[in-house]
Structure 1
């Protein structure tokens, strides 16, 4: 059994529930839902398998909680970007937001898990995973619509750009950049982001 770094040196140990979530996130990201067992998670946590049921009713319950966490973390990332750049020119705000969303996959295990959860949900959890995904998308949509409104008010976005077109283009760019994080090293990703950003901005900015 491979070892897992449960917490950085010098920090207090995680509570058992949090430790199980961290290990579950790692194993689900590496091996997928079907190939990961509660016995593996328990062994990595240094507890007996029945002890897991003191914290989670099932493997499905653990997976779905991690899925909700991943969605919440993406929302938190968006909110943090918008707050950090609140007083910056619109172009800088939009660029920062796009870059932050695209680099979500850099987070160890979480980015891979998020990608698996969105694209390849477990067969027996499709309905539950889709509901979580739809709720998350709805929350992201509201934030992106506020971004479009701010851009139009600032005169930074072209007048004919519709809300739907902006949101669809933003998602497509982020999805593409997320996929590239699994194919290229970071220096190359940064170079490619510059090209993607220049084309995206040219397509949405005011004439």
Structure 2
């Protein structure tokens, strides 16, 4: 692993544990076994490292969505939707990355709010396009209610994922999985055709 990637890995871990304000470049440098000024050969500032990690986390979530949709392409629509929701919910449990993403999404650093919001908005736009195509397919094949609008589906999907994301702060993985079953049955009953 090159130094830049090592700094990103360490930064991700420390930002996840201590937040942006609680992490210093000196801590990152020490953990990487380099002097603090050497970080500037790779990143202009702590903010630049944090924002790159934020974009990476967003890209990883979108890659997870794409992989989920591709992996289940031949499955019945209900199974594909369930799998997609599960994958999005379990993203929050990825060590360091999930915690970092939750912190970034819910508690962006005060001095980076504008940049963080831009990253979040761009990521949501990319996710929205995938979800809209997915709901349109579901309506076209008769798996979803014909009256279910794109906007309503996307909003409901985000509410379920955001709710499950919030619950990762409160519950262990096993309890979250149990709760997912109940959430899934209500969500599916609300969107399915017939």
Tell me the TM-score normalised to structure 2 length. 0.98
- Pick aligned residue for 2:166 from 151, 171, 179: 179
- Pick aligned residue for 2:125 from 119, 138, 142: 138
Alignment partner, residue 112 of structure 1: 99
Which runs of 5 or more structure 2 residues have no equivalent in the other structure? none
1:182 Cα deviation from its structure 2 partner: 2.1
Which runs of 5 or more structure 1 residues have no equivalent in the other structure? 1-13
Map Cα deviations across residues 31-66 of structure 1 (whole Å, 9 max, x no partner): 110111000000011110000001001000000000
What is the alpha-carbon root mean square deviation over aligned residues? 0.7
Write the distance in 2 (CA, Å) between the matches of 1:59 and 1:186. Answer: 32
Write the distance in 2 (CA, Å) between the matches of 1:58 and 1:186. Answer: 35
The 5-angstrom pairing of residues 30-179 of structure 1 reads: 30-179=17-166
Map Cα deviations across residues 146-189 of structure 1 (whole Å, 9 max, x no partner): 11011001101111111111000000000111111222122211
**Corresponding residue SS for 1:183:** coil
The 5-angstrom pairing of residues 24-35 of structure 1 reads: 24-35=11-22
Write the distance in 1 (CA, Å) between the matches of 2:172 and 2:24. Answer: 31
Q: Which 4+ stretches in 1 moved above 2 angstroms? A: none
**Corresponding residue SS for 1:54:** coil
Tell me the TM-score normalised to structure 1 length. 0.92
